[in-house]
Amino acid sequence: MTGKSIRAHFPLALAATIAAMQPSLLHANPAPVAAPAAAQGEPYVMPRSDVRRMSSDAGGDYLIFIAWPQQPPPPEGYPILYLLDGTESFAIAAEYQNRLGGYAGLEPGIVVGIGYPGASRRGFDYTPAVPGGDKLMPSAGPAGGADQFLDFLAEKVIPAVEAEYPVNPERRTLAGYSLGGLFTLQALFKRPGLFRAYAASSPSIWYGDQQVLKLLPGLADRLTALPSRRTLLLSAGQYEQSPAPGTEQDPEWLRIADLSRRARMVDNARELADRLRPAPIDVEFHVAPGETHGSGNWPALRDALRLAFADKP
């Protein structure tokens, strides 16, 4: 793979509603703003970073963002975090890990973001195939490509990155938010040995009438067959399915109230955590105080960084 230094021009467009699954909302591309004619200076460049293009066997093009630490690797290799929605999440997570991680008790490690060179295809890549389509949001666009994307991640991205950098595969973490959280659960349920830890933040468990939960039969056996124990972190924002105090009559809340209640973001995540606790996996669930679905991305990234670089197996 060939790459180039990463310049900091990644917009973080957070979803305004539970409909963040739609690329038109989560991945809006605002028109570029020209710099003033008198402005002087150079673009900010993230140190020790790279971005490469990769293509899946299904023909999809991706950007793979990579940031590595200044410190030499430990004998067993660096811990590594793979982030979904990398075009939005990578720069924030990688720079925090690079510049402030040590103050937060995070070990040096590698951050990888999987993103897109153009419009996001997350609505396709992160969703399972659902016969008849999803009923809660039937007009969300192409969907059902999660199996192909998981193959791409497992068979192309991970081998390419870890052939180049010294990585400890027993410290490999996957993290995703919203539909990315849904995909993270699919990866755990289908290939639990691919990562040691999984951070599924505000996962869209509702998708396809909870299609992802149909993957649970046999999971305990798949987990038992692994040489080491896995970890799942589930979370959701406090106000994902109910209004924040004082916003009960706010037009923005009323616009999404019915959809938010039916999606059951908090309840679904809590119930899944309870259901998985008897299985041979370490499960944690928490509610992010004060957060909505639109504001919860940063707390989710912080949780993922802690899971990847502070929690040891």
Catalytic positions, written as ranges: 178, 240, 293
Bridge pairing between strands 281-288 and 197-201: unpaired
The number of beta carbons lying within 10 Å of the beta carbon of residue 39 is: 7
Rounded CA separation 47/44 (Å): 9
Amino acid letter for position 49 = S
Q: Which residue has the tokens 């710099």?
A: 35
CA dist 243 and 113 (Å) reads 32
The number of beta carbons lying within 10 Å of the beta carbon of residue 105 is 9
Torsion of CA 291, 295, 300, 305, to 10 degrees: -120
Q: Which residue has the tokens 């995070």?
A: 106
Whether 54 and 62 have beta carbons less than 8 Å apart is answered as yes
SS (H, E, C) 51-108: EEEEECCCCCEEEEEEECCCCCCCCCCEEEEEECCHHHHHHHHHHHHHHCHHHHCCCC
Q: Which of 2, 163, 157, 192 is nearest to 83 (CA)?
A: 157
d(CA 184, CA 201): 9
User: Rounded to 5 degrees, what are φ and ψ at 230?
Assistant: -100, 165
